[in-house]
């Protein structure tokens, strides 16, 4: 995989995208025979034998009791269909999470308590778990003549991806030590806004090199992307993170496990399909042949439903669960 300083290989996408976001075609190209929506899993938290306390109740607990209680929590991935069953709603191709979990107008849809006492946390937006992407890619490589040649585009706005000129880094890694001098240095760094204002901007390193950070972008409506050559077959390996040039090595140096942003857009050289994980979507959309869409929707590892061309996935598109 290599960075493409000439992003013109993705120009064809721009020609198939709408200028607005009234339908999914603001980010998903038109002109394919079929489309599938792959729902990102949510998280259900349970407390065996008890109802999960509200945030207010948890805050009022003594700290030792809080810690003991939180150690009993059980978190597990859960599908949209299972979530709908818990809340008495209906899963369908245009379903929206806040409707599925019956969020009131002034409520927080990100975390909801179901009638059975479980706490449901909303799916991740714009990102695929490496294993889930591998399961999708296993089908993608079977429906292209160029499984070993293709392209991956990453939305430039992901925190820490690109370097930039500034006075503070886009992210920091906290370290803990008993050294009082080191702790004092951290305190000065965190509580010195006056000097930060007048400090001269310097280059703040990102995951990607300065050359890439300052290089050309694949410019699509409302989104700019960094483009890489990338064989689709590589993503069928659940450990694809270990081989991508945007692997988050700075985080690993601070003790974090290997990680890397999943592609925002992925397509093969023959353009037989396109996979789009839009940053504001809690689902991934695949455009391709009818056979590909049927295979994705039939895979029990995935939760996928066919979408009609022109489908709207806006927050108010779910007319069934209103």
78 beta partners: 42
Q: Give the count of beta carbons closer than 10 Å to the beta carbon of residue 12.
A: 12
Is residue 261 within 8 A of residue 158, CB to CB? The reply is: yes
What whole-number distance in Å separates Cα of residue 213 and Cα of residue 269? 24
In 3D space, the residue among 315, 282, 307 whose CA is nearest the CA of residue 98 turns out to be 315
> Average pLDDT, whole number, for the chain?
87
CA separation, residue 259 to residues 245, 249, 285 (Å)? 11, 8, 22
Judged against a pLDDT cut of 90, whether residue 244 lies above it is answered with yes
Rounded to the nearest 5 degrees, what angle is found at the Cα of 12, between the Cα atoms of 6 and 13? 100
* Kind and range of the H or E run holding 189: helix 180-190
Whether 3 and 227 have beta carbons less than 8 Å apart is answered as yes
pLDDT digits 0-9 by tens, 153-207:
999 988 788 876 676 766 665 554 555 555 554 454 445 555 555 678 886 778 8
Q: What pLDDT score does 186 carry?
A: 47
What per-residue confidence (pLDDT) applies to 227? 96
Q: Which of 35, 40, 24 lies closest to 303, judged by CA? A: 40
Say if CB 32 and CB 293 are below 8 A apart.
Answer: no
Instruction: Give this prediction's pTM.
Output: 0.84
Q: Cα angle vertex 317, ends 314, 322, to 5°? A: 130
Residue 66 is predicted with a pLDDT of 66
In angstroms, how far is CA 154 from the centroid of its own chain? Answer: 11
The per-residue pLDDT for 191 is 52
> Per-residue pLDDT for 305 more than 60?
yes
Structure letter (DSSP) for residue 230: -
Alpha-carbon gap, residue 89 to 83, rounded angstroms: 8
| Whether 201 contacts 192, CB under 8 Å | no
Contact 90, 321 (CB under 8 A): yes
What gap in Å lies between CA 58 and CA 73, rounded to an integer?
13
């Amino acid at each position: 995989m290599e960075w493409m300083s000439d992003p013109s290989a993705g120009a064809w996408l721009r020609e198939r995208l709408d200028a607005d976001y009234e339908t999914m075609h603001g980010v998903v190209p038109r002109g394919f025979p079929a489309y599938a929506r792959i729902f990102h899993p949510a998280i259900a938290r349970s407390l065996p034998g008890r109802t999960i306390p509200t945030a207010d109740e948890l805050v009022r607990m003594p700290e030792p009791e809080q810690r003991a209680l939180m150690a009993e929590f059980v978190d597990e991935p859960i599908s949209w269909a299972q979530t709908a069953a818990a809340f008495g709603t209906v899963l369908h191709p245009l379903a929206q999470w806040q409707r599925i979990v019956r969020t009131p107008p002034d409520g927080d849809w990100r975390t909801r308590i179901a009638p059975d006492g479980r706490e449901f946390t909303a799916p991740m937006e714009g990102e695929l778990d490496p294993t889930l992407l591998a399961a999708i890619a296993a089908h993608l490589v079977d429906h292209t003549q160029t499984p070993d040649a293709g392209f991956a585009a990453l939305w430039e706005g992901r925190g820490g991806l690109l370097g930039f000129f500034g006075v503070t880094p886009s992210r920091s890694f906290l370290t803990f030590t008993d050294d009082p001098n080191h702790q004092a240095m951290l305190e000065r760094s965190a509580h010195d806004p006056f000097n930060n204002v007048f400090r001269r901007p310097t280059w703040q390193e990102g995951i990607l090199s300065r050359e890439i950070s300052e290089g050309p972008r694949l410019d699509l409506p409302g989104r700019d992307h960094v483009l890489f050559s990338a064989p689709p077959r590589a993503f069928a390996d659940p450990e694809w993170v270990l081989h991508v040039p945007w692997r988050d090595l700075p985080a690993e140096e601070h003790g974090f496990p290997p990680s890397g942003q999943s592609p925002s857009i992925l397509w093969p050289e023959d353009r037989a399909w396109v996979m789009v994980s839009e940053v504001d979507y809690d689902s991934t959309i695949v455009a391709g042949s009818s056979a590909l869409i049927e295979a994705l929707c039939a895979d029990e590892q995935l939760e996928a439903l066919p979408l009609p061309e022109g489908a709207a996935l806006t927050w108010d598109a779910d007319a069934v669960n209103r």
